[in-house]
Amino acid sequence: MLESEEKYRTFFESSIDAVLLTSPDGTIYAANPEACRIFGMTEKEIIKVGRDGIVDTSDPRLQFVLEERARTGKFKGELNYRRKDGTIFPGEMSSALFHDKNGTVKIAVIIRDITERKKAEETLKSKLEELQRSNDELEQFAYVSSHDLQEPLRMISSYLQLLQRRYQGNLDEKADKYIYFAVDGASRMQVLISDLLEFSRVTTRAREPEPTDSELILNQVLSSLYLYIKQNRATVTCDPLPEVTVDNTQLAQVFQNLIANGIKFHGEEAPKIHISAKKISVENKVSEWLFSVQDNGIGIDPKYSEKIFEVFKRLHKKEEYQGTGIGLAICKKIIERHGGHIWVESELGKGATFYFTLPINPKEV
């Protein structure tokens, strides 16, 4: 008995948290050195002022804490406390009722001053809000600029084409060349701008995810790619695919981009694409669907496996393979918007497998 009292004393005196011994009516019997430090009072003063002298009595959570503790015998949560100089600070409190050796009900209360943690949380929250705001502004900027640039560019492009049709061969050879470059540049810019617009529409035109049969979506994509598949003598196969909670138009965009790339970047052999999906469990226990789109094409040097997901990043000249380099950036934005990840595993000349995950229950994430 004596030994356990000794142990209790040591814990009480040296605890890095404030420890109080109180009664259910708010009387305080003892306070340890850390309690004296955080409240700025001596033990005697703490005992004198009692619970109402150290708790912020205007904290609306107080009544609930007292009632819950009386009902269940314990309580863990946050509450505001008051220092001797009247300043209020947030505390994390854990308390439990027990019977002392005379059978009297007492309460052991442990309090930790969480001012610093709260400050850090607040800073993080406001930084996140700031980031979100600047992200929204950027999105808006990309949308508005790409949308509004389309009109004047259409005009430039059509007048240049008119110039080309009317005056080709009537001026000198140099003039023909200049007009050709101007027309070519304008039409490339049109493609880039419309791709940028499509990229920003991933968020501006987003719809609420809803349960969707991914196999059905894949089949719709395959029928829209029918000619392209046939012209390239490609074979596309798939395993049974699950129901997922997605914006179905966007899932179709992902399938379309990955399959079309698998065909476009083919090697010597006729392109073969295989799509499959399996359930995986990740550390934090939320299960995900892992989709894969595998091809037998030219492959990607692993050192570019992250770069290729950036806007307008391409590994080939447009004369070798057509495209603007926006497809994978769109896929990444779509998948991340759904709470998933996308990546590629590949080696040059050995085909590529694109993986993406989709949470099984997006609300949990």
Binding site for ligand ADP (CB under 6 A): 257, 261-262, 265, 295, 297-300, 308, 313-316, 323-329, 352
Q: Taking the complex as a whole, how short is the minimal distance between the CB of residue 213 and ligand ADP, in angstroms?
A: 25
**Which amino acid is located at 296 in the chain?**
N
| Identity of the residue, 91 or 262, whose beta carbon is nearer to ligand ADP in the bound complex | 262
Tokens of residue 188, six digits: 């490339």
Helices 327-337, 173-204: crossing angle, 10 deg rounding = 10
How far apart are CB 347 and ligand ADP at their closest, in Å?
11
Q: Which amino acid is at 96?
A: A
Q: In whole angstroms, what is the distance from residue 333 CA to residue 341 CA?
A: 9
> Between residues 276 and 324, which has the closer beta carbon with respect to ligand ADP?
324
Q: Which residue's Cβ lies closest to ligand ADP? A: 323
C-beta of 331: minimal distance to ligand ADP in Å? 8
Spatial strand order in the sheet of 18-22: 28-31, 18-22, 105-113, 88-99, 74-82
DSSP state, residue 110: E
Could you please report the per-residue DSSP string of 204-253?
HT----EEEEHHHHHHHHHHHTHHHHHHTT-EEEE----EEEE-HHHHHH
Task: Give me the least distance between CB of 94 and ligand ADP, in Å please.
Answer: 52
Say how far apart CA 145 and CA 152 lie, in whole Å: 11
* Region at 339 (left for phi over 0; alpha for psi -120 to 50; beta for the rest): left
Provide, rounded to whole angstroms, the least separation between the CB of residue 262 and ligand ADP: 5
Shortest spacing between CB 83 and ligand ADP, in angstroms: 58
How far apart are CB 259 and ligand ADP at their closest, in Å? 9
Structure tokens belonging to residue 81? 């406390």
- Nearest to ligand ADP of 209, 297 (CB atom): 297
Tallying the residues shown for the chain, one arrives at 365
By beta-carbon proximity to ligand ADP, the closer residue of 95 and 146 is: 146
Determine the Cα–Cα distance for residues 75 and 111; give it in Å rounded to an integer: 12
